[in-house]
A and B are shown apart, each in its own frame.
Chain A
Amino acid sequence: MSENELLKKFLKDAFEKGLIEAVMAPAATQDSYTYALITKKEDVDKLTPIAPVMQWNGADMLRRITKLKKAERRMLAILRPCETRTFKELVKFNQINPENIIVLTYDCPGTIHARNYKYDKVPVEELIEEIKKGGKSDKIRDSCKVCEYPAPIPGVGDIALGLVNAKEPVFFSLSDIGKEFLAAMGIQEGSRNADEWIKMHRERREKWLEEERITGGRKGIEEFLSSCLNCHNCKDMCPICFCKECFFEDHSVFDYESSKYFNWADDKDGIRLPTDKTLFHIGRLIHMGTSCIGCGLCQQACPMDIPLYRLFGIVGNDLQKVFDYKPGVNDDIPPVMDFREDELHEFEGLLGGEE
């Protein structure tokens, strides 16, 4: 039985046992996958619990469901590890009410870039086969290749499905709720060893952090963003950018009198006209960098194929290091919501510290 079939059976059993009243999971569309919500056992077959594409961040979908009121029915959501971390992070920001939601997550085989998938529909089983052997497909997105947490983390989400190095998939719990749930399902908790597999990702990540950094200040960022259309798609797809309206929609526009344009052009022998995109990207880093989960959807969303994850992932990583904060992996308060009296002295004064 394939992993997806196994999960579907799991869901049907859960419906039957009355443990859940709804499920949110991916479902296939013509060229991709989208999130679907079902409330009946019969509809389970319409789902693809593990999809080869992540077109949306599932936590973002849960945000829509619970933004105003908690989930009315007991619901199980199937989320990738990165989405599960997003879920946890968004709970901290009051964007998701976690009540009544059980999160099931799994060893992630990675996802294929939504555009690539449109033209080359790689079946998810192919991706899963790779990780069962402890490897990873090279068809997946860049951010998936350097994922820091490709496997479920205890305390983040409720139920996990282990796939790596496992002949048969194993269920195990991540929280007390998950433990009870599995017990009620009559499922024996199993284990699998994914340490090497995670290590492989982390090593890749370390190398990536070192090599792919955007350097060079002005020249570096200008060249990197030179093809940016300022479409703000990256922001729209970012699950951490939960604002209703982006600060930079309103405040990034530079208004000058026309004479100033011409005078500058005279002085400088021609000028490049401002596009507002740099402040937008840097501003977004300042606002959400500390909570960047690393899902890489910004990069997938870029119509110009700018490898944006190199910007947000690496700068985000630097920011998170400063505050010793890992978004979504534990209950720490996000840096923007907190402060300590005795910290960050290296940012005081010119040389750091009090004089």
Chain B
Amino acid sequence: MGKVLIFGTSLASYRAAANFARAGHKVVLLNRGEFLWHKFTQMQWQQPRDIINGYSKGVLLGVANMTGNIEVYHNAEILGAEGGPGNFRVKFKHRPQTVNEFKCIGCDICHDKCDVKFIPMPLGPGMRIIKNAEECLDVCPVNAIQIPKEEEKEETVDAVVLSPEYEPESIEKFGGNLKNVMSFREFAWLFRGKGVDKRFLQTQDGKYPKSLGFFTPAGFEGYLGSYEEQVIIFREALNMKEMDPSLDIHIFLKEIRLYGHNQMVLYDKAIEKGINVHLIDDFSIEQDGDGVKVNGTHLDLFVVMPGQKVPEEWKEMAERMGIEIENGFAKTRPFTFETTRDGIFVIGPFLKPLGSTEAIYQGTAIVPQVEKYLKPPQMPEMPKMEFNVDDFNPKVGVFLCKCALGDLKAEVNADYVVEKDFLCMHPEEIVKEIKENGLNRVVFGACSPALRGGMLEMLANKAGIHSSYVELVQLREYVSRVGGDSRKASAMLNAAVAKARRDVFVEVPTVETVKRVAIIGGDLAALIAADYLVNKVPVVYIITEDFDPVYDATGVKSDTLNMPREELERWYADLKERVLKRVQWIKGSVDSIEGSLGNFRISVGDEDIDVGVLIIATGGEIVEKGSHITSRLEGTTLHASLASIYAKRKGVKATYDLMKSFSLLDLNPPEAERGKGEPVAYVKPREYNRKIAELLGLKLDEEGFFFFAEEPREWVERAGIQFMLFEEPFGGVFIAGLAHRPMSIEEEVEEAGFAAQSATYLMRDITSPAGKFISVTNPRKCAGCGICVDACFTGARYIDEEDKIAKVRPALCMGCGACTSVCPSGAAIIRAYSPTGVFEMLKEVVK
């Protein structure tokens, strides 16, 4: 197994660390702050109200627990690296946290006895910084308090990934020091945690503003950023309008950078709801009474969403690590994340200005690129467990944690009730007591599952009690910490006992899958994905009549943007030759696809191919001198990135509308004026997409591009779903390259890498991601009406043609239970939430 050092905890790093660990490699994560999240990621700067922030950390912690492959150092600074790939000796200094966040159980005992700064945070105990740590080491029952002594350390690793966090530019240039001008972050902070409500919208004088302006400087000199700033201010403006339709809302933009599926819908909706969108060439701002006047419009409150800053420290870090930079960003080799020094990689905001979606793609796509320097991965063996299964003679034990219960007195009716000071500190005792008392159901009255709840469940497993017989009552966060009384504690515990009595054993099914991948289409992304996959998957098919020639839009990094055509073609020819030697190329096009994740059957002519995962890379036609796409308000998809790279490479005079691209270009933009210049190129989606979409039940946008990782909805290019898990939400079908949207080759590398790496995770027998919440059908009751099929968002339910009843594909079921609440017959059920159990629980909980 390989070992990778990751520096910084940007969005891309969270993801990358989790991916390396899951792929079976060791990770050393150098976190620059006192705790994970201390330094903000791009999402936290730009959308501080979103929960999906939390998932980035959640995913990382989940994988860290599951694999034991991640080691974190805090307050870290990277000092340098000697050696080369396979043998880097990385020097860094670090200072331990005063409270180890992995150990802390949030009992708050230290609050009384030490000088603690407490920062509440979702998913976990909250963060604590103790000023006098040396003096109160003994206070902590779990020994989580550490002396914050700085030390230097050296780690030997195979490769290094640099991914420092995003920092926003200051807003001074745009009136930042005037009264009632605030950065977007400050503005979003008004509502943070409290919800969108009129009560919280206030100017700096504490008044309710009648007019509100948003601005992001995309297109103005010195701006570094992506499209994301605009997506967010449009969304926020719409939120405000929904909260109070009488608000006078203005958005100021030099150009519209809303590309990607359906983002233009935000613009249309803004116009429809009466939000004023001003396209401005010059920006002027002055104080006007208590508010400001922006380009002649009075506003009570003005919100600026700045672009990205390139911190000085990046330069120093680059020097220490011996890598080159350009325009403040790391220089990389064409179409890779590898810097000018072998074995040192860069992802995230240090690579180029990007949106959160790209950052997440990069965090996965990095793995196959680094793996060439890594020893083969090792996956931890899961121990096999034996469980006592007895659905009919419940014997319920209740374990109460004093830390959770506090001063409350709980009256619980169960076969065995015991109270302990800290449950999590007495694992052996609990196992022993479960066995000795012959318990077959356990209720824990403890803390949040994000804390020790999960661990307690594992304890019960160890004692032979299956997870379907374990109930957790969050006594601490739901009762004692929020002013709950003994009556509430008792009611909740007795409800859990009542439910536990009705719990039945739920076996989580595992689906045997075909360990092969098929790539449909001959896009560049197909070749890139295949290039990664051939080393990991026994059989890789590419199904296409022919391969598309490499096209002339390469990327925003200078060496790809200015790459001579011959070099580009040579790179492409090498790639193609290398791939075709190892894959099975099936010439032809797909006639039919049957089955689902793990077991697809594809017919191509007379040939039938069985595969577990599909990657769709059907590509698109590049039409030069195109005319339809590049204008701002035609179509819902703007192909800006591609078109502006074309403009730049060809030295064409372009219009503003063409310039909706990543901002490295803006450092040296081609001459551009609004409405002048020529549209240069666009991507036309292939007709073939329609057929594939129909066969697989996928959705296409208006123009014929696939939706992927984003439902056709307003909150576009939805980062949220990508935070959830790794590969499961996609049902074994990944879209990459021009089939998805117009993109540069750099972006194709990211998407193809994401698809390939995610596909490898599915090259195993798949245990239902729903776990004990797996949905099942009672065949005796099912009338085959198909309401559940419509309710299922993953396509896990279907009507069996033979039996005319609904059946479940366990590999796809995520356990949300939407099917159960719509089924009128009670035939679709999640046995862990059966109506019988819930009804019993309700009887107790209302007491």
Which one of A49-57, A110-118, A244-252 is at the B interface?
Answer: A244-252
Residues of B within 8 A of A93 (CB): 785-787
A244 pairs with B782, CB closer than 8 A: yes
Chain A: minimal CB distance from B822 (Å): 6
Complex CA distance for A275 and B821, rounded to whole angstroms: 24
B195 pairs with A337, CB closer than 8 A: no
A95-B785, A354-B196 in contact; A244/B780 too (CB < 8 A)?
A: yes
Which 3 interchain pairs have the tightest Cβ spacing?
Answer: A243-B825, A247-B826, A93-B785
24 CB < 8 A contacts A-B: A93-B786, A94-B786, A242-B783, A243-B781, A243-B825, A243-B827, A244-B783, A245-B780, A245-B825, A246-B825, A247-B824, A247-B826, A247-B835, A250-B826, A336-B787, A336-B822, A337-B786, A337-B787, A341-B714, A354-B196, A354-B242, A355-B195, A355-B196, A355-B198
Chain A: minimal CB distance from B164 (Å): 37
Residues of A within 8 A of B839 (CB): 251
Residues of B within 8 A of A337 (CB): 786-787, 790-791, 822
Chain B: minimal CB distance from A99 (Å): 14
**CB proximity to B under 8 Å, residues A87-133:** 93-95
User: Residue B197 at the A interface, CB < 8 A?
Assistant: yes
Residues of B within 8 A of A94 (CB): 784-786, 799, 804
* B contact face: mostly helix, strand, loop, or mixed: loop
**CB proximity to A under 8 Å, residues B302-323:** none
Complex CA distance for A203 and B454, rounded to whole angstroms: 62
Chain A: minimal CB distance from B191 (Å): 10
A95-B783, A243-B781, A245-B781 in contact; A338/B826 too (CB < 8 A)?
A: no
A residues near B, CB below 8 A?
Answer: 67-68, 93-95, 241-247, 250-251, 287-288, 333-334, 336-338, 341, 353-355
User: Residue B767 at the A interface, CB < 8 A?
Assistant: no
Residues of A within 8 A of B714 (CB): 341
A68 pairs with B804, CB closer than 8 A: yes
* Chain B 698-737 near chain A by CB (<8 Å), digits 1 or 0: 0000000000000001100000000000000000000000
Residues of A within 8 A of B780 (CB): 244-245
Chain B: minimal CB distance from A86 (Å): 14
Complex CA distance for A287 and B836, rounded to whole angstroms: 18
The chain B residue sitting closest to A291, CB to CB, is B824
* Chain B 171-206 near chain A by CB (<8 Å), digits 1 or 0: 000000000000000000000000111100000000
* Chain B 751-795 near chain A by CB (<8 Å), digits 1 or 0: 000000000000000000000000000001111111100110000
Complex CA distance for A355 and B199, rounded to whole angstroms: 10
The chain A residue sitting closest to B199, CB to CB, is A355
User: Residue B243 at the A interface, CB < 8 A?
Assistant: yes
Given A288-B824, A336-B822, A337-B822: 13 more A-B contacts, CB < 8 Å: A67-B804, A94-B785, A245-B825, A246-B825, A247-B825, A251-B836, A287-B824, A333-B790, A334-B787, A337-B786, A354-B242, A355-B195, A355-B243
Residues of B within 8 A of A355 (CB): 195-198, 243
Contact of B785 among A242, A250, A251, A353 (CB under 8 A): A242
**CB proximity to A under 8 Å, residues B804-836:** 804, 822, 824-827, 835-836
A251 pairs with B783, CB closer than 8 A: no
Residues of A within 8 A of B782 (CB): 244
Chain B: minimal CB distance from A25 (Å): 26
Residues of B within 8 A of A353 (CB): 242
Residues of B within 8 A of A247 (CB): 824-826, 835
Complex CA distance for A341 and B238, rounded to whole angstroms: 15
Complex CA distance for A68 and B802, rounded to whole angstroms: 8
Residues of A within 8 A of B824 (CB): 241, 243, 247, 287-288, 336
B195 pairs with A244, CB closer than 8 A: no
Residues of A within 8 A of B804 (CB): 67-68, 94
A67-B804, A95-B783, A355-B197 in contact; A244/B825 too (CB < 8 A)?
A: yes
Chain A: minimal CB distance from B292 (Å): 27
Complex CA distance for A334 and B785, rounded to whole angstroms: 12
The chain A residue sitting closest to B200, CB to CB, is A355
Chain A: minimal CB distance from B531 (Å): 39
Residues of A within 8 A of B836 (CB): 251
B783 pairs with A243, CB closer than 8 A: yes
Chain B: minimal CB distance from A266 (Å): 18
Residues of A within 8 A of B196 (CB): 354-355
Residues of A within 8 A of B197 (CB): 355
B784 pairs with A341, CB closer than 8 A: no
Residues of A within 8 A of B835 (CB): 247, 250-251
Complex CA distance for A22 and B836, rounded to whole angstroms: 46
Residues of A within 8 A of B785 (CB): 93-95, 242
B790 pairs with A338, CB closer than 8 A: yes
Chain B: minimal CB distance from A60 (Å): 13
Residues of B within 8 A of A333 (CB): 790
The chain B residue sitting closest to A242, CB to CB, is B783
Complex CA distance for A333 and B822, rounded to whole angstroms: 14
Complex CA distance for A117 and B799, rounded to whole angstroms: 42
Chain A: minimal CB distance from B720 (Å): 14
Q: Which of B713, B785, B822, B824 has the most CB of A within 10 A?
A: B824
Residues of A within 8 A of B786 (CB): 93-94, 337
Residues of B within 8 A of A250 (CB): 826, 835
The chain B residue sitting closest to A245, CB to CB, is B781
The chain A residue sitting closest to B713, CB to CB, is A341
Complex CA distance for A242 and B197, rounded to whole angstroms: 45
Residues of B within 8 A of A288 (CB): 824
Chain B: minimal CB distance from A62 (Å): 15
Residues of A within 8 A of B242 (CB): 353-354
Residues of A within 8 A of B791 (CB): 337
Complex CA distance for A95 and B786, rounded to whole angstroms: 9
Complex CA distance for A333 and B786, rounded to whole angstroms: 12
Complex CA distance for A4 and B197, rounded to whole angstroms: 66
Residues of B within 8 A of A95 (CB): 783-785
Complex CA distance for A216 and B11, rounded to whole angstroms: 56
Chain B: minimal CB distance from A208 (Å): 27
Chain B: minimal CB distance from A341 (Å): 6
Chain A: minimal CB distance from B324 (Å): 47
Chain A: minimal CB distance from B214 (Å): 19
B243 pairs with A354, CB closer than 8 A: yes
The chain B residue sitting closest to A353, CB to CB, is B242
Chain A: minimal CB distance from B383 (Å): 39
Complex CA distance for A354 and B197, rounded to whole angstroms: 8
Residues of B within 8 A of A245 (CB): 780-781, 825
Chain B: minimal CB distance from A72 (Å): 16
**CB proximity to A under 8 Å, residues B492-547:** none
The chain A residue sitting closest to B840, CB to CB, is A255
Chain B: minimal CB distance from A289 (Å): 11
The chain A residue sitting closest to B239, CB to CB, is A354
Chain A: minimal CB distance from B495 (Å): 16
The chain A residue sitting closest to B715, CB to CB, is A341
Complex CA distance for A254 and B503, rounded to whole angstroms: 18
Chain A: minimal CB distance from B422 (Å): 36
Complex CA distance for A336 and B786, rounded to whole angstroms: 11
Complex CA distance for A241 and B825, rounded to whole angstroms: 9
Complex CA distance for A241 and B784, rounded to whole angstroms: 13
Q: Which of B196, B783, B791 has the most CB of A within 10 A?
A: B783
Complex CA distance for A251 and B502, rounded to whole angstroms: 14
Complex CA distance for A94 and B790, rounded to whole angstroms: 12
The chain B residue sitting closest to A283, CB to CB, is B824
**CB proximity to A under 8 Å, residues B193-251:** 195-198, 242-243
Q: Which of B197, B782, B804, B822 has the most CB of A within 10 A?
A: B804
A94-B784, A245-B780 in contact; A251/B826 too (CB < 8 A)?
A: yes
The chain A residue sitting closest to B244, CB to CB, is A355
The chain B residue sitting closest to A90, CB to CB, is B785
B799 pairs with A244, CB closer than 8 A: no
Residues of A within 8 A of B243 (CB): 354-355
Complex CA distance for A251 and B826, rounded to whole angstroms: 9
Chain A: minimal CB distance from B453 (Å): 29
Complex CA distance for A288 and B824, rounded to whole angstroms: 8
A244 pairs with B781, CB closer than 8 A: yes
Complex CA distance for A166 and B404, rounded to whole angstroms: 80
